[in-house]
């Protein structure tokens, strides 16, 4: 009998001789010393012997030595030799395996025992050599992993080259197959040789450390089968589990293959002991270990989730050992456990077989898992809260959430919309989107429809109920807790099944009728069956109504999220609102319109989200529907929304999303070609066409006549705003269309515009807006607009002063009397001031446009001269041309031309109001009169509309002329401070912003007065003041002075919009430079602390401002600055405020040291007891040092105070019996009061110091 083979620790160990007569390599041949021809002959001889002789020839000493020599020198073998050797070994083993199954064991038959020994030896030797081939090949591949070398060697390889990857897969699959045969026939017991299993398992786990091997599916599957067989079939469990846990902790790429291996073992051998052991191993691990090993925690978590997806029922029976980890500090493990529960709820309870008792147990288990998932929505970690919401979304997609639980999940998701973490809000929004998409209540979720249908079915239930037995009504009604029914399925309750069965008929009949308003008084609703089925449907309708109300209640929150600084909030909110509109949720339409201003966002993703939503909702394939949607938007939108709508419509026209057929449909609505079109729809259509003209100027040119006939015709009297829109359309005409208009209908158009401005056929509230656009249209299309504008001013002036009482009117205004002024004259005077001021303003704009045209022509001419000169310089340039250019350059004629042009423009601007000539100035004569009129406060109070028009005109005149502005600034600030009209103060506040831009030096002394508008009692005035100051500061038109604290107070304004605007301002301000808020914060703190602010408001303001400071260095410097403020402050409230600000800082190690170094600045008052907090390990030493210092000084200070108090009391007691006794009592009270004051001074500081200590605490799960 041949010597038995024992697996050595290493390949080289086979050369050593042992006393137990084991097989070893006696005659080792050095392969490297052989020539290539000799090597090939040597390999061929070995291959021939292996294939020609018996399978057991490998046990012959000669062949064994030669094979060993080849395996030892495997790396130096050429590809052909490797192929021959590997194929010979593999084929022999593959033939050997079937022979093993054919063996019969008979203990008395020596020949059979001998044959079994031969098979066992050969089996072990082939396995050993093949695994060493794999190890050698992979080692060689890993050492020569150079892309350039690999590419070169591939080019030099012959056509029949060595392809290792398929060979590796076949070898490993062969070894896996060898483990699946009945090895008890070879080894004499159910478990093979421990040495054999150890060798196989050790090398298999080492191959798992190579990510490249796991990318090959054949190799990966074979390795998984080997692990499953070793651990499960041959009970190599303890060692396998230890190796698996080690690999999972160390390598992330082994997670999925290991889960496949464990699941494969359970499926093949119907034995889940390997999975159960691994789960128990995870459960036994100390949760604190996962805090330190974050990579291992993440890998273990992924492994558990993968395992739950593959073996849900097995994991559900072992989930109890994992639940305690919910109390651990590693959020990654909690995330994984949440994912595991989601997989189990979806997959572990789907069977309907089994006894009633087992069903009940599974039902309770599932209910407990669902409760844990709901509880985890309030986890301390934002990552876990986000993961829970994602799991709920997956469960909703898989229809694993019952109707009874549906609304609880929806309410939790709605609450998480206000979470402080952006990732949680994103997950909550996605969850609500999926819940709407997969809701079990129908495609239309209007509250009114549900209420009407529910009312009718409740009547139906009352009719079907028997008269006598009331207990049945109490015993059987379906409720939200129907999850515990006899079927044992949480998501398969009777109510849900019935609701789903009746959903189609309910939607098609009842809901449709309710939507059309056909609420029938009789019981003509679809019959759904007996009483129990009707009750189930009522319960389903009640759940649907609750769900609809829950989603509808989130609309106000969604509007706030659209103003979020997080792009993901905005994008997902828009997606949710789109889904809400699809299901007709109440309030979704109005909320969607509020997304329009987001088109101005600088974030490209937000703009694209808004654009995509706009196209999806409003742009249809049918041009008529698209036109109707767009004109409805234009009709119902405010000024801000109209600007946004114009921007997005222009963009869509340029992209082609709004096609020519849609433009034609808009023209059909405007010209009343569509039946049923109203004048308001016509106006809306023209508004949209004007928006489209911004991108495509030819849009309006084809219907000029319709614009004139309809816009200024009889329909303008029906819809007065139509005339204003027509004027705006004239401004949007292209240059060619303007010329065409002037040549064909010029006189008529200007006559209509003049009639609109000077006539009284428009309502008073519409006339001002229409006249504004009409004057602007004249200056846009008229070749000499100043002539027509002068006529308009004259006619308006004559209507006021040429009537009876004109002289008396002027005298009354001069003498502050109003006896002659009538209502008609007030209207005419207001209109005159409006026309004069708007003509003056448009004249200024016209002069500036003329200046730009001249400058543009000048630059074009200069460029043409340069180009011509460059062209001529290639040849021979005329000598006189060169000479003229040189002379002009030396004399500075070009610069003098620019100076002359600037002087002319300045003169033209000044002549609008002041005028430097002795001739009468039409607008200039109005200015002194206007100034006197606005100073007549008695007259202004009697006629508020006159004051509004007069102050608006005064502000426009001041914007035009610097001298007039300087002369009337005092008047303007007096009116903006004391005017009783809210609109007048608002208009003047806005005008102050324009004046600050145009004449910053004149407005600079009045900065404090401008900030004072932030304290105005009117919400409108404060809002405009915030907007104006924000614009000026953020655009560097006004310096951030010492009044910024007034703007900071608006963070806590009672009006939410003003508060949001202030927050937006400081958010944008923090982005400028090195964050100006950092420098302003101490000053803001000092001024806010001495104002009469509520403590809560102060804390909210400072928390927001400090939160905008992100740099650690700035935080560290603030620690020092805030501590230094203690030394100069004696007020208790200010101490508390400073300590609160310190508590809001994000302390680094350097910040803590700064706090310790500044101890002397606040040591004089530390005296209050406190509780200790513990910091994170990396800062614990620093915190402990600071705590020790505080405690030491605190004890000393307290002892001093107690000693002083006792001495004072004793001194008072040794006095006289009566007088001194009374005085002593009073003194004692006084001393106690002083001491209490000392305590109070630092009580808040100490608590807040400990408050920021708590920022460094490791979070605990509640």
User: Which position has the higher pLDDT, 511 or 117?
Assistant: 117
**Structure tokens of 495?**
């109510």
Alpha-carbon span 878 to 240, nearest angstrom: 97
Query: Which residues fall within 8 angstroms of residue 352, CB to CB, at 6 or more apart?
Result: 487, 488, 489
pLDDT at site 260: 94
Task: Tell me the mean pLDDT in the region 1140-1161.
Answer: 77
Alpha-carbon span 13 to 650, nearest angstrom: 82
Q: Given a cut of 50, is residue 1165 above it in pLDDT?
A: no
pLDDT at site 356: 62
What residue spans of 181-236 are helical by DSSP H? 184-187, 194-208, 211-215, 217-228
Task: Tell me the mean pLDDT in the region 287-298.
Answer: 88
Return the bridge partners of 22, or none. Answer: 4
Q: Given a cut of 80, is residue 51 above it in pLDDT?
A: yes
Among 339-348, 407-416, 516-525, the least confident range = 516-525
Among 397-401, 643-647, 887-891, the least confident range = 887-891
Task: Tell me the mean pLDDT in the region 169-182.
Answer: 90
The owner of tokens 């209007």 is: 446
Alpha-carbon span 963 to 87, nearest angstrom: 104
Contact 160, 205 (CB under 8 A): no
Q: Which of 402, 556, 409 has its CA nearest to residue 493? A: 402
pLDDT at site 1141: 84
pLDDT at site 1172: 32
Q: Given a cut of 90, is residue 640 above it in pLDDT?
A: no
pLDDT at site 954: 93
Q: Given a cut of 90, is residue 5 above it in pLDDT?
A: no
Question: pLDDT category, 434, cuts 50, 70, 90?
Answer: very high
Alpha-carbon span 1230 to 724, nearest angstrom: 76
pLDDT at site 1190: 58
Exposed, middle or buried, 501 (CB in 10 Å: 0-12/13-18/19+)?
middle
Question: pLDDT category, 801, cuts 50, 70, 90?
Answer: confident
**Structure tokens of 1016?**
């105005």
Among 127-141, 407-421, 988-1002, the least confident range = 127-141
Query: Which residues fall within 8 angstroms of residue 1169, CB to CB, at 6 or more apart?
Result: 1194
Question: pLDDT category, 1234, cuts 50, 70, 90?
Answer: very low
The chain-wide mean pLDDT, for the chain, equals 80
**Structure tokens of 450?**
């549900």
Question: pLDDT category, 858, cuts 50, 70, 90?
Answer: confident
Q: Given a cut of 90, is residue 100 above it in pLDDT?
A: no
pLDDT at site 753: 93
pLDDT at site 950: 92
Task: Tell me the mean pLDDT in the region 437-441.
Answer: 92
State the number of CA atoms in the 13 A half-sphere of 401 facing the CB: 24
The pLDDT tens digits for 56-96 are 888 888 888 889 898 888 888 888 888 888 889 989 888 88
The pLDDT tens digits for 449-483 are 989 988 888 888 888 777 544 444 334 443 443 43
Task: Tell me the mean pLDDT in the region 201-223.
Answer: 92
The pLDDT tens digits for 1049-1101 are 999 999 988 998 999 899 889 888 888 888 888 888 888 888 888 888 988 99
The pLDDT tens digits for 232-255 are 988 889 999 999 999 999 999 999
Alpha-carbon span 307 to 340, nearest angstrom: 8
Q: Given a cut of 80, is residue 873 above it in pLDDT?
A: no
Return the bridge partners of 4, or none. Answer: 22
pLDDT at site 1250: 41
Among 317-326, 421-430, 433-442, 1037-1046, the least confident range = 1037-1046
Question: Which segments of 314-375 are extended strands (E)?
Answer: none
Query: Which residues fall within 8 angstroms of residue 1035, CB to CB, at 6 or more apart?
Result: none
pLDDT at site 966: 92
Alpha-carbon span 142 to 211, nearest angstrom: 11
Task: Tell me the mean pLDDT in the region 142-170.
Answer: 57
Q: Given a cut of 80, is residue 485 above it in pLDDT?
A: no
Contact 340, 319 (CB under 8 A): yes
Q: Given a cut of 90, is residue 1236 above it in pLDDT?
A: no
Highest averaged pLDDT of the listed ranges 876-880, 891-895, 1108-1112: 1108-1112
Q: Given a cut of 50, is residue 1220 above it in pLDDT?
A: no
Task: Tell me the mean pLDDT in the region 478-493.
Answer: 38
* pLDDT above 70: percentage of residues in the chain: 80
Question: pLDDT category, 1242, cuts 50, 70, 90?
Answer: very low
The pLDDT tens digits for 662-715 are 999 999 999 999 999 999 999 999 999 999 998 888 899 889 999 999 999 889
Alpha-carbon span 752 to 747, nearest angstrom: 9
pLDDT at site 788: 92
User: Which position has the higher pLDDT, 759 or 902?
Assistant: 759
Q: Given a cut of 80, is residue 808 above it in pLDDT?
A: no
pLDDT at site 516: 39
pLDDT at site 17: 82
User: Which position has the higher pLDDT, 1064 or 525?
Assistant: 1064
Task: Tell me the mean pLDDT in the region 584-605.
Answer: 90
pLDDT at site 1243: 36
The pLDDT tens digits for 727-758 are 999 999 998 899 888 888 889 999 999 999 99
pLDDT at site 508: 37
Alpha-carbon span 415 to 542, nearest angstrom: 21
Question: pLDDT category, 1163, cuts 50, 70, 90?
Answer: low
Task: Tell me the mean pLDDT in the region 1137-1149.
Answer: 80
Query: Which residues fall within 8 angstroms of residue 1162, CB to CB, at 6 or more apart?
Result: 1123, 1126, 1127, 1242, 1245
Q: Given a cut of 60, is residue 923 above it in pLDDT?
A: yes
pLDDT at site 1216: 43
pLDDT at site 812: 53
pLDDT at site 574: 94
pLDDT at site 1184: 56
The pLDDT tens digits for 946-985 are 999 999 999 999 999 888 999 999 999 999 999 999 999 9
Three-state DSSP at 216 gives coil
Alpha-carbon span 668 to 630, nearest angstrom: 13
pLDDT at site 1144: 81
SS3 content of the chain, % helix, strand, coil (to 5): 75, 0, 25
Q: Given a cut of 60, is residue 639 above it in pLDDT?
A: yes
Q: What pTM value is reported for the model?
A: 0.75
């Amino acid at each position: 009998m041949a010597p038995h083979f024992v697996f050595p620790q290493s390949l080289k160990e086979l050369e050593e001789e042992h006393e137990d007569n084991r097989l070893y390599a006696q005659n080792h041949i050095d392969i490297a010393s052989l020539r290539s021809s000799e090597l090939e002959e040597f390999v061929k001889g070995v291959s021939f012997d292996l294939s020609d002789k018996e399978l057991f020839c490998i046990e012959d000493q000669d062949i064994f030595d030669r094979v060993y020599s080849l395996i030892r020198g495997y790396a130096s073998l050429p590809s052909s030799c490797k192929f021959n050797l590997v194929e010979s070994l593999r084929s022999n083993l593959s033939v050997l395996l079937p022979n093993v199954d054919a063996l019969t064991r008979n203990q008395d038959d020596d020949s059979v025992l001998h044959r079994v020994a031969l098979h066992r030896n050969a089996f072990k030797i082939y396995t050993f050599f093949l695994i060493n081939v794999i190890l050698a090949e992979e080692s060689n591949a890993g050492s020569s992993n150079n892309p350039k070398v690999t590419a070169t060697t591939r080019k030099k390889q012959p056509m029949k080259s060595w392809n290792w990857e398929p060979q590796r897969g076949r070898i490993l699959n062969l070894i896996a197959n060898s483990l699946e045969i009945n090895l008890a026939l070879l080894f004499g017991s159910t478990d093979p040789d421990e040495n054999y299993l150890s060798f196989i398992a050790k090398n298999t786990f080492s191959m798992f450390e190579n990510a490249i091997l796991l990318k090959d599916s054949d190799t990966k599957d074979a390795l998984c089968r080997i692990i499953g067989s070793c651990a499960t079939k041959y009970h190599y469990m303890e060692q396998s589990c230890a190796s698996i846990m080690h690999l999972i902790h160390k390598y992330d790429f082994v997670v999925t293959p290991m889960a496949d291996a464990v699941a494969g073992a359970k499926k093949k051998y119907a034995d889940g002991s390997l999975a159960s052991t691994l789960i128990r191993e995870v459960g036994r691990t100390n949760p604190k270990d996962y805090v330190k090993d974050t990579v291992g925690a993440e890998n273990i978590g992924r492994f558990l989730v993968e395992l739950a997806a593959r073996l849900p029922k097995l994991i559900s029976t072992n989930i109890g050992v994992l639940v305690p980890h919910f109390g651990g500090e590693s959020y990654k493990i909690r995330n994984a456990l949440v994912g595991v529960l989601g997989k189990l709820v979806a997959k572990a309870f789907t069977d309907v077989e089994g006894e009633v008792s087992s069903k009940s147990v599974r039902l309770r288990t599932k209910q407990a898992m669902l409760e844990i998932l709901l509880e985890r929505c309030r986890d301390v970690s934002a990552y876990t809260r986000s993961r829970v919401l994602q799991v709920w979304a997956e469960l909703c997609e898989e229809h694993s959430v019952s109707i009874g639980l549906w609304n609880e999940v929806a309410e939790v998701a709605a609450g998480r919309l206000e979470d402080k973490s952006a990732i949680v809000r994103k997950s909550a929004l996605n969850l609500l989107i999926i819940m709407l998409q997969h809701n079990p209540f129908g495609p239309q979720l209007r509250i009114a429809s549900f209420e009407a249908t529910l009312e009718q079915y409740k009547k139906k239930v009352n009719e079907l109920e028997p008269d006598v037995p009331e207990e049945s009504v109490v015993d059987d009604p379906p409720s939200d807790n129907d999850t515990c029914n006899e079927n044992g399925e949480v998501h398969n309750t009777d109510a849900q099944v019935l609701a789903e069965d009746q959903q189609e008929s309910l939607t098609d009949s009842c809901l449709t009728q309710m939507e059309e308003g056909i609420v029938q008084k009789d019981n003509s609703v679809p019959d759904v069956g007996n009483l129990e089925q009707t009750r189930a449907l009522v319960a389903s309708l009640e759940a649907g109504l609750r769900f609809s109300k829950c989603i509808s209640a989130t609309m106000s929150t969604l509007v706030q999220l659209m103003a979020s600084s997080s792009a993901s909030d905005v994008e997902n909110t828009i997606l949710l609102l789109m889904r809400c509109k699809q299901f007709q949720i109440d309030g979704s339409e109005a909320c969607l319109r509020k997304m329009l201003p987001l088109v101005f966002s600088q974030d490209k993703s937000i703009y694209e989200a808004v654009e995509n939503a706009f196209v999806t909702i409003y742009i249809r394939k049918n041009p008529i529907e698209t036109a109707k949607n767009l004109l409805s938007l234009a009709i119902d939108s405010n000024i801000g929304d109209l600007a946004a709508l114009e921007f997005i419509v222009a963009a869509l026209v340029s992209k082609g999303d709004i096609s020519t057929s849609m433009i034609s449909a808009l023209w059909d609505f405007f010209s009343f070609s569509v039946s049923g079109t109203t004048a308001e729809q016509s106006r809306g259509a023209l508004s949209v066409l004007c928006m489209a003209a911004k991108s495509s100027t030819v849009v309006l040119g084809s219907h000029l006549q319709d614009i004139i006939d309809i816009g200024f015709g009889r329909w303008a009297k029906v819809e007065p705003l139509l005339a204003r829109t027509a004027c705006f359309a004239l401004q949007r005409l292209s240059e060619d269309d303007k010329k065409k208009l002037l040549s064909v209908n010029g006189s008529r158009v200007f006559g209509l515009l003049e009639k609109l401005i000077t006539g009284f056929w428009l309502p008073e509230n519409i006339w001002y807006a229409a006249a504004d656009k009409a004057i602007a249209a004249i200056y846009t299309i008229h070749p000499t607009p100043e002539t027509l504008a002068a006529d308009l001013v004259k006619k308006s002036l004559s209507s006021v002063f040429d009537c009876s009482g004109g002289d008396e009117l002027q005298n009354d205004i001069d003498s502050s009397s109003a006896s002659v002024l009538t209502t008609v004259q007030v209207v005419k005077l207001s209109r005159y001031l409006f026309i004069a001021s708007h003509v003056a303003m448009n004249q200024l704009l016209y002069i500036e446009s003329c200046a730009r045209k001249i400058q543009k022509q000048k630059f074009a001419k200069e460029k043409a001269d340069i180009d011509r000169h460059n062209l001529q310089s290639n040849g021979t340039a005329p000598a006189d041309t060169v000479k003229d250019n040189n002379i002009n350059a030396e004399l500075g004629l070009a610069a003098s031309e620019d100076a002359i042009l600037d002087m002319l423009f300045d003169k033209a601007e000044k002549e609008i109001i002041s005028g430097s000539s002795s001739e009468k100035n039409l607008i200039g004569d109005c200015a002194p009169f206007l100034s006197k009129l606005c100073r007549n406060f008695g007259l202004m109070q009697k006629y508020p509309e006159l004051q509004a028009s007069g102050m608006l005109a005064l502000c426009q005149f001041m914007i035009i002329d610097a001298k007039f502005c300087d002369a009337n600034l005092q008047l303007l600030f007096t009116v903006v401070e004391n005017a009783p009209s809210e609109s007048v103060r608002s208009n003047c506040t806005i005008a102050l912003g324009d004046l600050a831009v145009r004449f910053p030096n004149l407005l600079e002394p009045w900065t404090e007065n401008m900030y004072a508008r932030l304290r105005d009692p009117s919400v409108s005035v404060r809002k405009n003041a915030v907007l104006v100051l924000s614009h000026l500061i953020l655009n560097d038109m006004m310096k951030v002075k010492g009044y910024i604290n007034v703007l900071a107070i608006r963070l806590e304004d009672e009006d939410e919009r003003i508060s949001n605007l202030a927050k937006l301002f400081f958010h944008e301000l923090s982005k400028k430079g090195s964050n100006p808020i950092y420098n302003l914060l101490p000053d803001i703190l000092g001024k806010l602390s001495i104002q009469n602010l509520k403590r809560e408001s102060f804390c909210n303001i400072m928390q927001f401002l400090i939160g905008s400071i992100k740099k650690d260095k700035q935080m560290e410097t603030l620690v020092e600055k805030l501590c230094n403020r203690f030394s100069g402050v004696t007020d208790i409230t200010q101490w508390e405020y400073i300590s609160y600000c310190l508590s809001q800082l994000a302390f680094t190690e350097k910040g803590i040291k700064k706090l310790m170094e500044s101890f002397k600045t606040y040591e004089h008052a530390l005296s209050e007891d406190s509780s200790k907090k513990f910091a994170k390990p990396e800062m614990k030493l620093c915190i402990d040092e600071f705590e020790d210092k505080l405690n030491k000084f605190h004890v000393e200070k307290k002892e001093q105070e107690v000693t002083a108090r006792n001495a004072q009391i004793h001194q008072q007691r040794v006095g006289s019996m009566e007088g001194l006794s009374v005085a002593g009592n009073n003194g004692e009270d006084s001393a106690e009061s002083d001491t209490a004051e000392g305590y109070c001074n630092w009580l808040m500081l100490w608590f807040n110091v400990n408050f920021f200590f708590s920022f460094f605490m490791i979070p605990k799960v509640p």
